[in-house]
Structure 1
């Protein structure tokens, strides 16, 4: 009496690829597996990888097999690669799990093969895509302008500073996201170039390219031939290259007058000290001139008068709450 040899169960490969990486940029193991496969299946005839697979001579069958059909397709030690499409993939994987758990089916080897991975910063692409859609479809977002959003940028910046001062890392992460949203939102509006007649459009890529170029140029000790061993030398590089770039007529050029008063006074004092100018404080009576003198003294001593006043104000707030609790 003879017995039939068991049929080899074969192999199912679920090939994943990040939508944040350009289609066709697959890992070498992914290409090897695709070329060696007995069958490649994809349920989505618009899958972004299909043109590149076909160009590489890989035949792809557009089909959405059930879990049972997929297992049967692997009989005889066959390898079947499935390109997940995001639509119906959960049903397939759940079906395979049920078959494996039933104990009634000889299951093929099941492998999840990442064909590409997200690069650092890849989720920023998601943010850009979400912002594009919100700008087009949201009744509120679609009507916003740079001027209309300006106040939110200030608010989010202050909330970020508060999270830093509180030492709350969860809040810090959220507030950084809110500040980032303002950058992406403004860049999305600028991309349309419709807020002002004749305005030259620019995109978030232009914004990123500008700051990348600036960072490289102002860090010759990192990207060039100069050297810097101390933070002071780095700051000197920064100020020197910045001065060459801006070609300002006055050390006060570029200092935003709309910032809080103590910060404004400290910034002006910093510019004066860095330039080696001998500038007398303006004579005048009143609390404003006293605060000016205090801010300049604080800057000279290496303290941030704005942060110092906020810390004192927070202590004052706590004292108020303590008294309220007593009442």
Structure 2
């Protein structure tokens, strides 16, 4: 069977990152098929694309096989925030492991190139800082985060076994904290949490003393890196860290968001979640050298764009709630 090399499959296409990837691929003139079971993805994220002649949406769970033609596969399907992946940990593992196996089977049959989205969570609570791709991690295999951490580690193993055994063309990016428009209001990630709390004038919840650090990459920069990885030579398999090496504490992040929103929210502290990393920051030397990539959007600019999205989104929610309350029973 011959596949159209221009046709691209994006699993998790209705998700935060997946929908932005669909936007980019269509803008580049590609034919795009988005797969999503809509467990965490939103149809609203794709509503603006539904009339596009080169775009198709197929409801499907990657934990089950599917047969279709594609020359490139971006496998992003998996709950990615702790609130979502811990809600149904068994299904998270199925999405990560069975989903990767099914997409690798499809890539092998179609002689397609597959980009398997991995994560900085494979490093666990790191003892090496910043994290390089050669670091093997410090992961608790039986903790509440293990469904995601170990699921993604196993997905990486499958990719490299398919590559060695079948010659499958693979790309494995390890994604560090990414943020931007279309994040869920209630996904439990720190950027969305802080912005929503600040805009609503609620107390901003900081885990621990707020000294733990993260490094935040704006979604457009991540999508640029995905495309560069897919277009790279076949010996560029990864894993490659993709993220912004600008490290910031949670307390500093909260302060920035208060300043940008003009909020009067107060900071309140609560206990650290189990196995929550104290430090997380990528070494992106390999991405710079191999892909010629580094992030371009500053944290301030990215936060401004994201705050603008949440301001509009929350106004829509408030309007919708008011209409519902005003309707006769």
**Shorter-chain TM-score: which interval?**
under 0.3
| Structure with the larger strand share | 2
**For the pair shown, which has the larger CA radius of gyration, 1 or 2?**
1
Greater relative contact order (Cα < 8 A, sep 6+): 2
